[in-house]
């Protein structure tokens, strides 16, 4: 089964695996339980925007044979600019992904804890076990093996959340109303989090690097672009299913929901053990996939920014990936509430996104670097609209926090 899926999916599945992590599961659960179907439009927008931006990353990697970190370094004219841009990007990715990794490990452990119930060894032991698995996966470094593992986990996750929708049912009239863009009272922060958890900035580095490795001959990137749209479309569908489940089962229920694990407990009385197993398996798969891909993305970025021969890049890759896993595990074991950790990372992603997107658009218009893979006029318009919308949401969030607007 996995072998057949591998022929259909490629590096794009890493992107899908990365953004359907515990952050997505938690943000979508909270959005559905607190606002019903009202923010479905935000996930649809985020999915389409992710496909458009990752299409650029696929062309950059498969067609131009450049990682985004490499392109940024080659696209600047002076040493100080290279160090400034490289330092800012890497610092943002390292700090953000260490926090994100803590949330990934905590989220995956919550899923296992829900599955094991009384037999669970406890959150700390589960986090440590998941960290060991993630570290082993990235240190082994066999791309084909990682790709198959992530495809299998995404398929398990997909099945789990499809079943969850069938368990609770959907009010399709209300669901369709949720496609109309509007922000309910108190929903700005959640809209930013939903966009930040889907259009994850570090995935642009991950996808370009993985596409470069997969299509190392610099072939026509058509296959890479198809893979990207298919994989990310599947990921967006999973996110929408999660929010729809929470909206149908929990909106106006009066129950306090802080995580997807709480959603499993909340719907268990009505649907039996099936609810616990379905949500628990989905959350575990989400945590493990993102716990593997977040260190990979940071490691790709650093090795590309610092450069060097293949041996040096390999050492940088493994060292950086291991550092992210270890720091993430330490954060997860520190006692910080997993939900707070996850949501902080999503808000940060939402605010960082416009900056990384502007960098990407700049590089995608450098014909001296990309040749035929440069953006078309339509791609630039679409990318510019994504930047404007995300900047607008970020400014709205900042102004509301400052009390400037209601």
pLDDT in tens, 223-261: 888 888 888 888 888 889 888 888 887 786 666 666 556
Q: CA 354, CA 143: separation in Å to the nearest integer?
A: 30
Q: Which residue has the higher pLDDT, 38 or 253?
A: 38
208-219 pLDDT, tens digit per residue, is 888 887 787 656
Res 175: pLDDT: 92
Among 83-97, 162-176, 282-296, 316-330, the range scoring the smallest mean pLDDT is 83-97
Res 334: pLDDT: 83
Q: CA 388, CA 383: separation in Å to the nearest integer?
A: 9
Q: Which residue has the higher pLDDT, 324 or 206?
A: 324
Tokens at 22, concatenated:
């515990």
Q: CA 121, CA 118: separation in Å to the nearest integer?
A: 8
120-153 pLDDT, tens digit per residue, is 788 788 889 999 998 988 887 666 676 777 777 7
Read off the pLDDT band of 69 (50, 70, 90): confident
Res 270: pLDDT: 54
Count other Cβ atoms within 10 Å, centred on residue 364.
26
Tokens at 67, concatenated:
């990682």
Res 283: pLDDT: 77
Tokens at 9, concatenated:
């999916």
List, in order of start, the domains of the chain with CATH numbers: 2-401 (1.20.1740.10)
Res 132: pLDDT: 93
Q: Which residue has the higher pLDDT, 1 or 326?
A: 326
Question: Does pLDDT of 177 surpass 90?
Answer: yes
pLDDT mean over 178-207: 83
Q: CA 43, CA 243: separation in Å to the nearest integer?
A: 9
Q: Which residues have a Cβ under 8 Å from the Cβ of 332 and sit 6 or more positions away?
A: 101, 102, 103, 105, 106, 109, 127, 131, 338, 341
Res 392: pLDDT: 78
Tokens at 55, concatenated:
């299409």
Res 171: pLDDT: 85
Pick from 162, 340, 302, 186: which is nearest to 245 by CA? Answer: 162
Tokens at 262, concatenated:
């709480």
Q: Which residue has the higher pLDDT, 90 or 354?
A: 354
308-353 pLDDT, tens digit per residue, is 677 787 888 888 889 999 998 998 888 776 566 666 666 666 667 7
Q: Which residues have a Cβ under 8 Å from the Cβ of 241 and sit 6 or more positions away?
A: 161, 162, 164, 165
Res 325: pLDDT: 92
Q: Which residue has the higher pLDDT, 144 or 58?
A: 58
Written in H, E and C, the secondary structure of the chain is: CHHHHHHHCCCHHHHHHHHCCHHHHHHHHHHHHHHCCCCHHHHHHHHHHHHHHHHHHHHHHHHCCCCHHHHHHHCCCCHHHHHHHHHHHHHHHHHHHHHHHHHHHHHHHHHHHHHHHHHCCCHHHHHHHHHHHHHHHHHHCCHHHHHHHHHHHHHHHHHHHHHHHHHHCCCHHHHHHCCCCCCCCCCHHHHHHHHHHHCCCHHHHHHHHHHHHHCCCCCCCHHHHHHHHHHHHHHHHHHHHHHHHHHHHHCCCCCCCCCHHHHHHHHHHHHCHHHHHHHHHHHHHHHHHHHHHHHHHHHHHHHHHHCCCHHHHHHHHHHHHHHHHHHHHHHHCCCCCHHHHHHHHHHHHHHHHHHHHHHHHHHCCCHHHHHHHCCCHHHHHHHHHHHHHHHHHHHHHHHHHCCCCC
Read off the pLDDT band of 377 (50, 70, 90): very high
Res 6: pLDDT: 43
Res 51: pLDDT: 92
Read off the pLDDT band of 4 (50, 70, 90): very low
84-127 pLDDT, tens digit per residue, is 777 777 776 777 788 778 878 887 887 888 777 777 788 788 88
Res 261: pLDDT: 61
Res 271: pLDDT: 57
Read off the pLDDT band of 3 (50, 70, 90): very low
Query: Of the spans 73-82, 191-200, 249-258, 369-378, which averages the highest pLDDT?
Result: 369-378
Q: Over the chain, what is the mean pLDDT?
A: 78
18-33 pLDDT, tens digit per residue, is 777 777 777 888 888 8
Question: Does pLDDT of 1 surpass 50?
Answer: no
Query: What single-letter DSSP state applies at residue 117?
Result: G
Among 63-67, 86-90, 378-382, the range scoring the smallest mean pLDDT is 86-90
Q: CA 33, CA 35: separation in Å to the nearest integer?
A: 6
Q: CA 329, CA 118: separation in Å to the nearest integer?
A: 23
Question: Does pLDDT of 67 surpass 80?
Answer: yes
Q: Which residues have a Cβ under 8 Å from the Cβ of 388 and sit 6 or more positions away?
A: none
């Amino acid at each position: 089964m996995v072998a057949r899926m591998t022929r259909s999916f490629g590096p794009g599945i890493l992107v899908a695996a990365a953004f359907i992590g515990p952050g997505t599961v938690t943000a979508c659960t909270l959005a559905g339980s607190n606002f019903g179907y009202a923010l479905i439009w935000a996930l649809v927008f985020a999915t389409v925007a992710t496909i458009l931006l990752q299409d650029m990353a696929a062309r950059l990697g498969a067609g131009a044979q450049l990682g985004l970190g490499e392109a940024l370094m080659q696209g600047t004219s002076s040493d100080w600019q290279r160090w400034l841009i490289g330092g800012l990007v890497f610092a943002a990715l390292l700090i953000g992904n260490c926090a994100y990794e803590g949330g990934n490990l905590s989220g995956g452990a919550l899923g296992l804890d829900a599955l094991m119930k009384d037999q669970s060894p406890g959150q700390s032991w589960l986090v440590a076990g998941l960290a060991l698995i993630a570290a082993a996966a990235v240190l082994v470094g066999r791309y084909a093996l990682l790709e198959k593992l992530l495809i299998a986990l995404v398929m398990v996750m997909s099945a789990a959340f499809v079943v969850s929708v069938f368990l609770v049912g959907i009010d399709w009239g209300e669901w369709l109303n949720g496609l109309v863009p509007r922000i309910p009272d108190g929903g700005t922060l959640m809209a930013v989090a939903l966009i930040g958890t889907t259009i994850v900035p570090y995935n642009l580095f991950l996808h370009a690097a993985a596409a470069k490795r997969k299509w190392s001959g610099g072939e026509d990137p058509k296959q890479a672009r198809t893979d990207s749209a298919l994989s990310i479309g599947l990921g967006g569908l999973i996110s929408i299913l999660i929010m729809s489940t929470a909206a149908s089962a929990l909106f106006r229920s009066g129950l306090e929901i802080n995580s997807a694990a709480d959603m499993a407990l909340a719907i268990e009385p009505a649907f039996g053990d099936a609810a616990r197993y379905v949500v628990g398996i989905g959350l575990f798969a989400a945590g493990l996939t993102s716990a593997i891909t977040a260190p990979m993305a940071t490691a790709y970025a650093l090795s590309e920014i610092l450069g060097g021969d293949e041996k040096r890049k390999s050492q940088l890759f493994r060292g950086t990936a291991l550092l992210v896993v270890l720091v993430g595990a330490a954060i997860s074991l520190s006692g910080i509430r997993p939900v707070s950790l996850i949501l902080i990372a999503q808000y940060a992603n939402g605010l960082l996104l416009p900056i990384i997107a502007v960098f990407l658009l700049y590089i995608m218009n450098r014909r001296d670097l990309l040749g035929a893979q440069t953006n078309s006029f339509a791609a630039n318009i679409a990318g510019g609209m994504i930047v404007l919308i995300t900047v607008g949401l970020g400014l709205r969030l900042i102004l509301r926090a400052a009390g400037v607007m209601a």
